[in-house]
Structure 1
Amino acid sequence: MLAAGGLASTAHASVSQGGVYGVDAVTDDWGDEGPLSTTSNSHNSVVGLWQAVLAADGYLPSADVDCSFGSQTKAATIKWQDDHHLGADGIVGPLTFGKADNYLYWVGSEIRYDGSKFDLYSMHRTSSGRWYANGGGSTAYFSYTSSDLCG
């Protein structure tokens, strides 16, 4: 579903809201997300979003974006965290997501992730701040309760 190729308010989102939400600047939207790990929130569209970030940065093959946080995703996460000078524990929480959202930027109404290998695009926010992706004629929300992003 994800494609390759002033003052800001703090984002107000969490697992308890059921999905990724944000307000104002996108570079603070992910700093309260997670945790994602092999044992917590391990199969959902937010995992797919994180895996897409790993793929865009060259840590995980794009073919492995499957919305399931398994051993390959954990290993790739540890490498990403280490390379970004974070505690490399393989758990994607606010610090890891918060570091990743520093690479988000707007192009019109579209949000993109500036990956080191390729950019992610086709990401958006609704007027209420809920994140979603468009692709293949459908819309998928970044949800902690479904894995629609991965089909």
Structure 2
Amino acid sequence: MNVRTPLSRATTAAVGALAAGALAISATPASASPASGYVNGGGAYSNDWSNEGGPTGHSLYNGGKYKKSNATCLWQKILWAEGVTEQNGSLYDGDDIDGDFGPNTTYATKKLQKRWGLTADGKVGPKTFGKADAKLRYVSGSTSANRVLTVRYAGRSHSFTLKRNAQGNYSFSQDGGVKLAGYKYRSCK
């Protein structure tokens, strides 16, 4: 004879719901999340940045909310690595990497977007960031969750190293130190 009480049915239902929730969480793939406040990713690094600047409004541009940020500083390093020109016709150089998305960065961004076959609007959103992450190259580490990964951005003129920490947040060297590529603060100058 099978005897079930209301308590045992409730316990069984609760255990089942917890198991289903745990399975759903563990099955969710790691991906970049602009909502994290950082240039972020997980799993395959070659598509980590393609949702940066998406619907959450983390696009980088002159006049935007994240105009002055370490995420802008990372973008400026990409402009330097790509060897694009600035407004005065000279190459975008280390002195231009200040974390402030001003007219000079807008000009250089439009030049790079045009070179890459994108709409030259001067805004760094999913398509522009997505083109950039295709230039990331494996150096060392693991693409597994909660592991550190080191990659190199291979630009047309220069390259530089980035690290993705165990939380998926990217960092880079600038101004003699390591900077997290955050949207909500600026420590590079």
Per the TM superposition, whether the score is higher than 0.5 is yes
**Residue of 85, 90, 101 corresponding to 2:117:** 85
Q: Secondary structure at the match of 1:108?
A: strand
Q: Secondary structure at the match of 2:155?
A: coil
The TM-score with structure 1 as length reference comes to 0.86
Structure 2: 5+ residue runs without aligned partners?
1-28, 54-58, 85-91, 142-149
1:60-75 mapped onto 2 (5 Å cutoff): 60-75=92-107
1:105 aligns with 2:129: no
Given that 1:11 and 1:31 are in contact with CA atoms closer than 8 Å, whether structure 2 keeps it comes out as: no
Q: Does 1:117 align with 2:149?
A: no
Number of aligned positions between the proteins: 140
Structure 1 residues 10 and 102: CA distance shift in structure 2, 3 A: farther
* Consecutive aligned runs of 4 or more in structure 1 exceeding 2 Å deviation: 9-12, 133-139
Q: Secondary structure at the match of 1:51?
A: helix
Distance 1:103 1:120 in 2: 11
Normalising by structure 2, what TM-score?
Answer: 0.69
> Which amino acid letter does the alignment assign opposite residue 133 of structure 1?
F
1:42 pairs, out of 37, 51, 67, with 67
- Structure 1 unaligned blocks of 5 or more: 1-8
1:51 touches 1:67 (CA, 8 Å); kept in 2? yes
Alignment of 1:4-15 (within 5 A): 11-14=31-34
Which structure has the higher relative contact order (CA within 8 Å, separation 6+)? 1
Find the counterpart in structure 1 of residue 182 from structure 2: 143
**% of aligned pairs identical?**
34
Alpha-carbon distance, 1:138 to partner: 3.9
* Partner Cα separation in structure 2 for residue 108 and residue 124 of structure 1: 9
